[in-house]
Amino acid sequence: MMDYPLLLRTLLLRAAKYFSKKEIVSIFPGEVFRYTYADYFKRTCRLANAVTSLGIKRGDHVASLALNSHRHLELYFGIPCMGAALHTVNFRLPLHHLAYVLNHAEDKVIFIEEDLLFFIEAIKDQLKTIDHFVIMSQSKEMPATSLKPAYLYDEWIEQFPPEFDFPDDLSEWDAALICYTSATTGDPKGVVYTNRGIMLHTLAAGFTLPASENDCLLHIVPMFHANAWGAPFFGVGQGCKQILPGREVLNMEVICKIIAQEKVTFTCGVPTIWLMLHQYLEKGGWHDFSSLKSVFSAGSACPRFLMEELNEKYGFPITQAYGMTETSPLALAAMPKSYMSDWPKEKLYDVKSSAGLLVPGLEMKIVNEKGHEVQMNGADWGEIFLRGPWIAKEYYREPEQSGRFFAGGWLHTGDVGTIDEEGYVRLVDRTKDLVKSGGEWISSVDLENAIMAHPKVSEAAVIAIPHPKWQERPLGCVVVKPGETVSGEELKEFLKDKVKATWWIPDHFVFIEQIPKTSVGKFSKKDLREMYASGKIKVPEG
Amino acid sequence: MMDYPLLLRTLLLRAAKYFSKKEIVSIFPGEVFRYTYADYFKRTCRLANAVTSLGIKRGDHVASLALNSHRHLELYFGIPCMGAALHTVNFRLPLHHLAYVLNHAEDKVIFIEEDLLFFIEAIKDQLKTIDHFVIMSQSKEMPATSLKPAYLYDEWIEQFPPEFDFPDDLSEWDAALICYTSATTGDPKGVVYTNRGIMLHTLAAGFTLPASENDCLLHIVPMFHANAWGAPFFGVGQGCKQILPGREVLNMEVICKIIAQEKVTFTCGVPTIWLMLHQYLEKGGWHDFSSLKSVFSAGSACPRFLMEELNEKYGFPITQAYGMTETSPLALAAMPKSYMSDWPKEKLYDVKSSAGLLVPGLEMKIVNEKGHEVQMNGADWGEIFLRGPWIAKEYYREPEQSGRFFAGGWLHTGDVGTIDEEGYVRLVDRTKDLVKSGGEWISSVDLENAIMAHPKVSEAAVIAIPHPKWQERPLGCVVVKPGETVSGEELKEFLKDKVKATWWIPDHFVFIEQIPKTSVGKFSKKDLREMYASGKIKVPEG
């Protein structure tokens, strides 16, 4: 067979040629911008020419600090296809981390959404490698900025020709994108995605997921978060209609309107988004989900009650998947098998609410504390190990951390799970979030899901706190729904028949305003632990 | 990303672990054999151990001369996953070609279907490299044979353990399968499929085609023909139910029964098969196609009237695809785009009856006689050039032929086609089958399709014959339906408004018993030309 490199270029050229009439839609407050793949391709060529004019060449790194927009989608292909790598920066990082990742990746140019300009203004003196600032805005006016030299994206790229000879002699091992994990401890760690890895991830996603050219994708996952879970590559690869909701992504009223008006069929997001959606719907929020075919939840375990409610009450066809920044990210998807179609609903939700089944192309083992692979019995716990062509082999320029997380040629995910006889994985916890009480493990995730099923509870997170006799005990941190009250005793009573053993039930519950979230919207147990340590969360005596 | 090789092993292990309950069904006359993927995997392990015991090692070649059966499917994974390559031999080759390909590939072992034993008995003295003969039979008795040493497949592999440590350190560039093209001129030419090529073809097929784990695949395409078009790899990769119809594959009554009883959803085959099916149905043959979701026709252009009749009259959901031995084979598929769903039926059949749209991952150009890429206007002709990771780079040990067909890093397919503004390719002809009349080209394929649309015609092929004034003129070779008669004048009249120009209409028609077929079931124009040259086909005077 030909030694033809796996390059994103191949997908871009095909889409431009054969899906030139298909649409890309970018949502701005009070404005809907639409163009075709033909126009998308021309602007992506202009962008590649523009970036080349700055002296950016193969192997260089270019940063984006941007919302989900058509411009970000132009960067997603324009930068890798001309041979550089796009570093998608999480704008929810604390400022010192923002400066850290831009310096660590040695980015030479940064593309900044106008709304996010103040972040870069605030750290500009700390930036060591960035020579050019490109501001992305719907306005035709350059906003006031102290950044120099600065260009207004649309106006700037318009000066360059709409053709570009995307090179076919890159190596498939060349970096295409870079993403840093949101650090729970220490500095953020970078993952470099190769052209090969993204191409294989894209094909495998298409092999696995029920989506095709007929689908209309809504990009809810931020484009800085693990390649937007690969959806932009899948979309261009298939020639799908794509919707980029910009800063409206957290506005559930607008999201529901977009789904109905644009006839969205496919979307993905973290459970936090689906909790927001559920709250909007519970308040009677308008929606029409008739066009939706598949929704995937990933990033952290989606509470089962939430999946059941969204599916059964609102016809929102949500299923779980599993991945992480280090896995490009798709690794597992919880699609039921053909012979499960006549299973009772309850049993089918066991499947759909699991983390899923291994995607073709990868290898997985679940390894217990003794280093043995666990049985496929749905009961034994172990850490999930993964390997495959779209699994990271290291953290970028972090040999020490890499040695630890990638020992033996497998990614040690830090996620603890079980695997049942059908192969479906169920997440028990993060290794570091497990509660060890009296020498036995308690799953904080199971407890959280059980607590969040209480009708008066909006969100719940469980952390381990020290205990003189049992070493550790779980502490329930609970956010009550507006206008409701609930007591710890009520919750204990409620949990009695819903947890694995009565000794799993937290001795104490604290009621807080909100669960702190990480920069990608997951519950931040690190922050909860700090709140507990600093006395901001006080456990009632007794 | 990890340097994790793309090996068939990854698909096999996943299927064995997570789809162990799914079924593989092998049809024999009067007998249906069923087993699970769990059993399939065990026997594939036994096979790998058995083959290893013969001294077969990495890089060796092993031949199969076999029907579509569960045993052949065991070879499909067992041989490549242990590191050797499976050479699937076309048993319809003439005997001298059979000996040629076995010697040319230097096969060390051959697996022979009992029904096909006489072929090998007939050429055994010519075989230079084969040391072992394994006979595949439903019988528990070793058939009488002069081949030595010979083993009875089931009995033989049963002696070996049902576990095998399939190596994970093969190179993805290692050969997995070998297939020889049916030579129209000279000796057959070999194509070596790498693990990488097959893995990418498999993922891309899943990305492109509307099939998933829920599908039940019926393998009509012979497993010696271009990897059975990749369907066995797709099937194991997804964990699909698979049906292997053995020697019943040409029995349309049995095929229709299988489709209904096993609830087949997906199948592929050459137009010759669909012509046979159509004839069976036209005679009132029993069928129930309600389970079928997709059928693909490829190998040669499927007459449009046939596609329309099968779809409209019989609910047989057939669409075209395009590929060849050198392309693994999937290169184009004629699935309509989302926005075509409300197109009028007639226009939609223009799409469905085209050769299709380029599959993601490949590059195509259509090049005219001047070496320029033709416009996407549906009119200009050119030769189809392809490149990509599952396109052959050469013929095995044929540097001279390879230089010709793979010049410039592109496969020169030898197929002439047009491409319309939507990107759909329409095959005009094979370069060597075009008729050049008065300096202008005539498409033999267009003429054949027009002639075959006549209600009294069963099959038709058009070849060029010399002409004193026009250099070449088309000759229509026609097979009339049983009990019907039709004249050349009638056909000329019929064609008047159905061809591009009246001068395309053949001056002469000859009526023959049957169109000679190649060993893979395509019309053999080479044989027709020989019949004409030798006077077996006589053109009426005038």
Q: pLDDT tens digit string along B120-133? A: 999 999 999 999 99
pLDDT of residue A300: 84
How far is the CA of A74 from the CAs of A12, A77, A110, A167, A430, in angstroms?
A: 10, 6, 14, 17, 35
pLDDT of residue B500: 87
Q: What residues are paired with B216 via a beta bridge? A: B241
Share of chain A above pLDDT 90, in %: 89
Pure H helices in A393-461:
399-405, 444-452
Identify which of B196, B208, B238 has the shortest CB distance to residue A1: B196
Flag whether pLDDT at B319 surpasses 70.
yes
Q: What is the 3-state secondary structure (H, E, C) of A141-184?
A: CCCCCCCCCEEEHHHHHCCCCCCCCCCCCCCCCCEEEEEECCCC
Domains, chain B, in order of start with CATH, read 433-533 (3.30.300.30)
**B 57-116: CB under 8 A from A:** none
Flag whether pLDDT at A185 surpasses 70.
no
Identify which of B4, B206, B389 has the shortest CB distance to residue A206: B206
Chain B residues near residue A16 by CB distance under 8 angstroms: none
- A129: amino acid identity, one letter: T
pLDDT of residue B184: 62
User: What is the least distance, in Å, from the CA of A206 to any CA of chain B?
Assistant: 4
Share of chain B above pLDDT 70, in %: 99
pTM, to two decimals: 0.93
| Residue B524, φ and ψ in degrees, nearest 5 | -100, 95
pLDDT of residue A183: 62
Residue with tokens 């026009």: B470
Q: Give the pLDDT mean for B36-44.
A: 98
**B 22-51: CB under 8 A from A:** 22
Q: Does A393 touch chain B (CB under 8 A)?
A: yes
Q: What is the pLDDT of residues B386-438, one digit of tens each?
A: 999 999 999 999 998 888 899 999 999 999 999 999 999 999 888 889 999 88
Flag whether pLDDT at A194 surpasses 70.
yes
Chain B residues near residue A202 by CB distance under 8 angstroms: 207
Q: Does B18 touch chain A (CB under 8 A)?
A: yes
pLDDT of residue A401: 86
Best CA proximity match to B448, nearest among B388, B374, B385, B528: B528
Flag whether pLDDT at B542 surpasses 80.
no
Best CA proximity match to A293, nearest among A361, A355, A217, A348: A217
Peptide bond into B455 cis (omega under 30): no
| Residue A68, φ and ψ in degrees, nearest 5 | -80, 100
pLDDT of residue B394: 97
Mapped onto helix, strand or coil, the DSSP state of residue B205 is: helix
Q: Which residue has the higher pLDDT, B348 or B541?
A: B348
**Are B10 and A193 within 8 A, CB to CB?**
no
Q: What is the pLDDT of residues A24-71, one digit of tens each?
A: 999 999 999 999 999 999 999 999 999 999 999 999 999 999 999 999
Flag whether pLDDT at B294 surpasses 90.
yes
Q: What is the pLDDT of residues B79-92, one digit of tens each?
A: 999 999 999 999 99
Chain A residues near residue B335 by CB distance under 8 angstroms: 213
Q: Does A313 touch chain B (CB under 8 A)?
A: no
* Closest B-chain CA to A9: B361
Q: What is the pLDDT of residues A232-271, one digit of tens each?
A: 999 999 999 999 999 999 999 999 999 999 999 999 999 9
User: What is the least distance, in Å, from the CA of A38 to any CA of chain B?
Assistant: 12
Chain B residues near residue A165 by CB distance under 8 angstroms: none
Question: Residue A60 corresponds to which tokens in the numbers above?
Answer: 């260089």
Best CA proximity match to A480, nearest among A448, A457, A455: A457
Average pLDDT, chain A: 95
Flag whether pLDDT at B371 surpasses 90.
yes
* Closest A-chain CA to B23: A339
**A 112-171: CB under 8 A from B:** none
**Are B2 and A387 within 8 A, CB to CB?**
yes
* Closest B-chain CA to A396: B1
Q: Which of A525-539, B221-235, B336-350 has the lowest mean pLDDT?
A: A525-539
Residue with tokens 């990742």: A101
Residue B285 pLDDT class (50, 70, 90 cuts): very high
Residue B436 annotated among the catalytic residues of the structure: yes
Flag whether pLDDT at B234 surpasses 70.
yes
pLDDT of residue A336: 96
Best CA proximity match to A200, nearest among A407, A425, A405, A389: A389
| Residue B415, φ and ψ in degrees, nearest 5 | -100, 135
Q: Which residue has the higher pLDDT, B324 or A430?
A: B324
Identify which of A194, A213, A357 has the shortest CB distance to residue B18: A357
Q: Give the pLDDT mean for A97-122.
A: 97
Q: Give the pLDDT mean for A291-308.
A: 92
Flag whether pLDDT at A521 surpasses 90.
no
Peptide bond into A149 cis (omega under 30): yes
Residue A439 pLDDT class (50, 70, 90 cuts): confident
Catalytic residue set of A? 181, 326, 436, 441
Residue B162 pLDDT class (50, 70, 90 cuts): very high
∠ CA A361-A367-A373, nearest 5°, is 80
Chain B residues near residue A213 by CB distance under 8 angstroms: 335, 337-338
Q: Give the pLDDT mean for B23-33.
A: 96
pLDDT of residue A430: 87
**Are A422 and B11 within 8 A, CB to CB?**
no
Chain B residues near residue A193 by CB distance under 8 angstroms: 1
Q: What is the pLDDT of residues A443-458, one digit of tens each?
A: 999 899 999 999 999 9
Identify which of B14, B214, B388 has the shortest CB distance to residue A338: B214
Q: Does A10 touch chain B (CB under 8 A)?
A: yes
Question: Residue B362 corresponds to which tokens in the numbers above?
Answer: 């490949």
| Buried b or exposed e, range B231-270, using 16+ CB within 10 angstroms | bbbbbbbbbbbbbbbbbbbebbebbbbbbbebebbbbbbb
Q: Which of A536-540, B26-30, B166-170 has the lowest mean pLDDT?
A: A536-540
Identify which of B203, B213, B214 has the shortest CB distance to residue A203: B203
Identify which of B4, B197, B423 has the shortest CB distance to residue A17: B423
Q: Give the pLDDT mean for B483-509.
A: 94
**Are A22 and B339 within 8 A, CB to CB?**
yes
Chain A residues near residue B208 by CB distance under 8 angstroms: 206
d(CA A220, CA B145): 67
Chain A residues near residue B358 by CB distance under 8 angstroms: 14, 18
User: What is the least distance, in Å, from the CA of A27 to any CA of chain B?
Assistant: 22
Q: Does B420 touch chain A (CB under 8 A)?
A: no
**Are B2 and A393 within 8 A, CB to CB?**
yes
Q: Does B264 touch chain A (CB under 8 A)?
A: no
Flag whether pLDDT at B262 surpasses 80.
yes
**Are B388 and A239 within 8 A, CB to CB?**
no
Residue B326 annotated among the catalytic residues of the structure: yes
Q: What is the pLDDT of residues A468-499, one digit of tens each?
A: 899 999 999 999 999 999 999 999 999 999 99
User: What is the least distance, in Å, from the CA of B378 to any CA of chain A?
Assistant: 13
Q: Does A463 touch chain B (CB under 8 A)?
A: no
Best CA proximity match to A215, nearest among A193, A234, A191, A196: A234
